[in-house]
Amino acid sequence: MTLPSALTFNNGQTIPSIGLGCWMGQPGEAEACYEMVLGCWMGQPGEAEACYEMVIKGLKVGYRHLDTGQPVLQAFGYGNEEAVGRAIRDSGLPREEIYVTTKLTFEDHGRVAEALDRSLKNLGLDYVDLYLMHWPQATDPKDKRTLAPEESPTYVETWKAMEELLPTGKVKSIGVSNFSIKTLDVLLPEAKVELHPSLPSFKLLEYCKSKGIILTAFCPLGRNFKLFADSHEFKSLNESEGLSTAQLLISWALQRGTVPIPKSVQESRLKDNFNVTKLSDHAMNVIDNFHKTSGVHGTLVFKSEDGKAFGWTYDQLGWGMDKNGNVVES
């Protein structure tokens, strides 16, 4: 089996199978996204230069899938659209060769068309290839209050507003991010969720495949990369497969039929992450079962003492986790 270079949505549009995630996490990292242009999640406004430089490096290496977003009023913000757009223009590459994803934020659920126009202006583009509802939760743009699942605009209402964007030509595809089987039972788009060997989400992946949904895997290397790199299982596979831990993780994600969006500001690692190959059945089996190791099965991203993520409980989100982010069902 040859690992795919692209996957096809149910509307016929294709998406490059590896993207670059450009979240840098700290202020002042925006230029890093400009050089990385794979997954452009920089974290906070003011980080454009770090993002810019990261995107440039990524495009030089060969990445053609950029994942970005607007600043948000909640804890996770991208705020790097301008840097990504500038990197695209400065790269000299034709627009049609670059796949651009951006997102609808919490506070824009009730003003979808306006939010998209803002993103296009930030990016300096006429269209985006994929427009994602970042989370099912909506917030009141005035008082920043998280709305309950039944309050308007619900994510179903927001989705219907996103569907109205398709005839405009400003988006080629629409999708959702951070949805579960529970929420996807109501909505059947392209989904982007946290996926890595500590949170393989086999049931969610099986569900999505049965519905013709393509999963994009954010954090494919996990937040705690050492959890994998220092393990006996991965050290053994490093030797037997002749691959780095990052290459193992990304190859595993691709071989499962998902779209990973790793990130790195170092050009050598960008090249390493892009050099993937088919894994042996033994390697796939080892990584598939890694989450069964004591103490490693859980989300590496969302852990909350009050058992909530951005105002909704894990039950409302449809996540099988306890309040500490530990998976209680697989």
Cβ distance 284 to 251 under 8 Å?
A: no
> Any residues with CB less than 8 A from the CB of 273 and at least 6 apart, and which?
18, 246, 247, 250, 262, 264
User: Looking at this protein, which amino acid is placed at residue 52?
Assistant: Y
Phi, psi of 329 (to 5 degrees): -155, 150
Helix axes 112-123, 155-163, angle to 10 degrees: 60
CB atoms under 10 Å from CB of 95, counted, come to: 12
Residues 224, 38, 211, 77, CA torsion sign: positive
CB atoms under 10 Å from CB of 226, counted, come to: 9
Q: How far apart are CA 99 and CA 96, in angstroms?
A: 7
Binding residues for substrate: 134
> Any residues with CB less than 8 A from the CB of 304 and at least 6 apart, and which?
323, 325
Q: How far apart are CA 93 and CA 65, in angstroms?
A: 13
Q: How far apart are CA 163 and CA 185, in angstroms?
A: 18
Q: Which residues are catalytic?
A: 78
Instruction: Give the SS3 label for residue 146.
Output: strand
Q: How far apart are CA 183 and CA 175, in angstroms?
A: 13
Cβ distance 291 to 330 under 8 Å?
A: yes
Q: How far apart are CA 277 and CA 46, in angstroms?
A: 37
Which tokens go with 206? 């099986």
Look at residues 97, 105, 44 and name the one whose alpha carbon lies nearest to residue 66. Answer: 97
